[in-house]
Each structure stands twice: as C-alpha cells, then as structure tokens.
C-alpha cells in the first residue's frame, strides 16, 4: 500500500509537562515550517504526546502534569490541529506515515530514550527531521526547581522582561504568520500588538494564572461559549510571590486558542463601566475544576526527594 506524505503535514511530539511557553514556541515554529501559500487546505500540525507510563520508563519518574491534563492543554494550543494520545517515546516513521506527515520538528536539544539513544535518530537518518530553536530560559526542570527551593530570583532577570518581538510572535493567528491576538498594556487604549479584537465587544477575565494550566483553559473555553459575541481578553499581572514571571504567563496565555488577547498590568480604574469583567475563580472549570496552583505545587513537594534527584541529574 502506497503511503502519501504531505510536506504541509508536520509532526511534533514530546512530554509537554506544564506545556509552558517554551513548548508553545516549538508549536509555533513547527507551524511556521508550513507555507500557508502552498498548503492547499491540507496543512496540519499534529502533536504526539507521550503517556505517563512511557515517560516514567524513559525518564525514570512521572511527569508533574497527568497525561489527560497534558493532552487537553496541547489541544488548546492555537497552532495545534490534532493531538495523538500516547504517542511512542521514540519517534518512528510508521507513526508519522499513518498521519501523512513528511517531517517531524523538534527543538535544538537532544532527547534520549531509556537506553541513551537519540529519540529522533531514525528520522534524522531518513531526512525527515527539522530542527528549530529551543526557547531559552524556560524549562519544566526550571519551574520545578523554583517550587523546590522557593527561589524567586527569576523575577529580576533581564531576560524576563517581555519584548515586543515575543508578544508579536505569540499573538500570531493559526497559520503562524497573520495577526491574531491583541496585546494591550495598562489600558485598553494602549495597544502594543494589534490583532482582530473590536473594542466595543470585549470581556475582561481577571485572575492570577500562575502555573498556567488546563484548569484555567477550561474556564476560558466556557467564558468564550457563554459570550459568543465578545472577544475574550485576559488581564495578566504578576507579583514577587508568583512562580511564573509576567512574561511566562503572558506568552503561555497568548498561545491558547480560546482567548483573543491579553492586557498587561491592567489599571482597573481605566475600564469603562460597560466593559464586562469576570473573575476566573467564579467560573466552573468542569472536568479540570480540581486543578489549582496549590494542587500542582503539592504534587512536587509530596515527591520532593524524587524531583530533587531528577533535577540534580539535569544539572540544577
């Protein structure tokens, strides 16, 4: 049987624990390997996500976020078209062939299986591997280390000041190129990145959004369904006690398909009285309503020795 492979169908895979903005950056860069002018409607970014057990076998410990949480978080990414649950840890051409994907895209770091072999070696050998730049300064291990140590030094790092270039990139529409989300700073009159929003049809969502997770996303999805005639704008701010920086929160939230923009450090006193505002904590999160920042932190603290050992192996 002849298998037809499409250059505009791209495969990425991984654990995507926390599904932070570094992961979102790989989704975006993978999407950008597809030329929107020649796709002919067949374009798709297909994301394979490893199961909890496969991660345990190959990494020696379970991920912080459970597989169902990771699957659904990836599905909510604006540049992802399809999620394949329980994708094999070592990328295999037969799996990519099944979905018609010519290429796999991965960041410029080496991923090894339990035997110390490159998970992408076979794809490299057959010319079906594309490398993109890994997002510097963010990793699952880094987030875990902050939780283990209580350190908040990252808030003062120069590279944690979000740039216009970063905000623009993470605001791109589904094709990875065109305008999508709108970014405001402090007031709704100060547009930093212009997207598709209409000023008269906004709903502002307030919350903390630290350790941004599928619990937040489920609530965004419900808010969008409840307000189909409005654009969902998320108010993003941070404080010195937060685990994530303003940059990390903003870029993670911008990659979500259920929102239309963010406003950084919103001055609530500047909002017009007819603007709808919603507190995220007042919304029912459905299946993932149990998930909170505290839930995630407790998962790590309750397995402290295991995560300390894991991070030591990674050089922390």
Q: Could you report the per-residue pLDDT of 217-268, keeping only the tens digit for each?
A: 999 999 999 999 999 999 999 998 999 999 999 999 999 999 999 999 999 9
Q: Where in the chain do CATH 3.40.50.620 domains reside?
A: 6-135
- What Rg value do the Cα atoms of the chain yield, rounded? 20
Q: What pLDDT score was predicted for residue 2?
A: 60
Q: At what angle do helices 293-301 and 140-149 cross, to 10 degrees?
A: 80
- pLDDT tier at 1, thresholds 50, 70, 90: low
- Between the CA of residue 151 and those of 29, 146, 244, 313, what are the distances in Å? 31, 5, 11, 19
On whether the CB atoms of residues 109 and 141 are closer than 8 A, the answer is no
Class of domain 160-289: alpha beta
User: In this predicted model, what pLDDT tens digit does every residue of 146-163 receive, in sequence order?
Assistant: 999 998 888 777 778 999
On whether the CB atoms of residues 134 and 59 are closer than 8 A, the answer is no
- pLDDT tier at 106, thresholds 50, 70, 90: very high
Of 240 and 119, the structure prediction assigns the larger pLDDT to 119
Q: What pLDDT score was predicted for residue 291?
A: 98
Would the pLDDT of 21 be above 90?
A: yes
Q: Is the pTM of this model over 0.75?
A: yes
Residues in the chain: 316
Q: Which residues are within 8 A (CB) of 284 and not within 5 positions of it... i.e. 6 or more apart?
A: 219, 222
How many whole angstroms separate alpha carbon 287 and alpha carbon 24? 23
Token readout for 127 is: 């010319």
pLDDT, mean of residues 58-71 = 96
Within 13 A of 2's CA, how many CA atoms are on the CB side?
2
Mean pLDDT of the chain: 94
How many whole angstroms separate alpha carbon 10 and alpha carbon 74? 15
Would the pLDDT of 145 be above 90?
A: yes
Of 33-37, 125-129, 155-159, 189-193, which gets the smallest average pLDDT?
155-159
- What percent of the chain stands above pLDDT 90? 83
How many whole angstroms separate alpha carbon 284 and alpha carbon 287? 9
User: In this predicted model, what pLDDT tens digit does every residue of 177-230 receive, in sequence order?
Assistant: 999 999 999 999 999 999 999 888 999 999 999 999 999 999 999 999 999 999
- pLDDT tier at 39, thresholds 50, 70, 90: low
Q: Report phi then psi at 31, rounded to 5.
A: -60, -40
Closest C-alpha among 58, 67, 61 to residue 119: 58
CB atoms inside a 10 Å sphere around CB 153: 8
DSSP 239: -
Q: CATH for 6-135?
A: 3.40.50.620
Q: What pLDDT score was predicted for residue 154?
A: 80
How many whole angstroms separate alpha carbon 44 and alpha carbon 82? 8
Question: Would you put residue 185 in left (φ > 0), alpha (ψ -120 to 50) or beta?
Answer: beta
Residue whose entry in the numeric block shows the structure tokens 């591997």: 129
Burial 48-71, CB ≥16 within 10 A → b, else e? bbbbbebbeebbeebbbbebebbb
Would the pLDDT of 41 be above 90?
A: no
- pLDDT tier at 135, thresholds 50, 70, 90: confident
């Amino acid at each position: 049987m002849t298998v037809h492979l499409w250059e505009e169908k791209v495969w990425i895979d991984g654990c995507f624990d926390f599904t932070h903005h570094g992961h979102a950056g790989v989704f975006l860069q993978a999407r950008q390997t597809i030329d929107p002018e020649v796709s002919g409607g067949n374009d798709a970014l297909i994301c394979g996500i490893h199961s909890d057990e496969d991660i345990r076998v190959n990494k020696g410990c379970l991920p912080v976020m459970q597989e169902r949480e990771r699957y659904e978080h990836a599905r909510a990414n604006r540049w992802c078209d399809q999620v394949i649950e329980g994708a094999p840890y070592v990328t295999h051409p037969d799996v990519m062939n099944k979905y018609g994907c010519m290429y796999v895209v991965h960041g410029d770091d080496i991923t090894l299986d339990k035997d110390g072999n490159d998970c992408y070696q076979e794809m490299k050998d057959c010319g079906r591997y594309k490398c993109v730049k890994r997002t510097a300064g963010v990793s699952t291990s880094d987030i875990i280390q902050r939780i283990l140590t209580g350190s908040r030094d990252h808030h003062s790092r120069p590279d944690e000041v979000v740039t216009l270039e970063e905000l623009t990139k993470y605001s791109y529409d589904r094709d990875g190129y065109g305008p999508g989300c709108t970014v405001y700073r402090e007031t709704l009159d100060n547009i930093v990145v212009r997207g598709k929003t209409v000023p008269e049809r906004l709903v502002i969502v307030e919350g903390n959004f630290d350790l941004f997770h599928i619990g937040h996303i489920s609530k965004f999805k419900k808010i969008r369904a409840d307000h189909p005639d409005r654009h969902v704008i998320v108010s993003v701010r941070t404080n010195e006690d937060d685990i994530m920086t303003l940059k990390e929160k903003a870029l993670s939230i911008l990659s979500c398909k259920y929102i239309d923009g963010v406003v950084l450090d919103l001055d609530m006193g500047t909002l017009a009285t007819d603007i709808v505002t919603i507190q995220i904590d007042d919304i029912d999160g459905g299946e993932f309503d149990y998930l909170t920042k505290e839930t995630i932190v407790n998962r790590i603290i309750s397995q402290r020795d295991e995560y300390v050992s894991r991070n030591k192996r990674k050089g922390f």
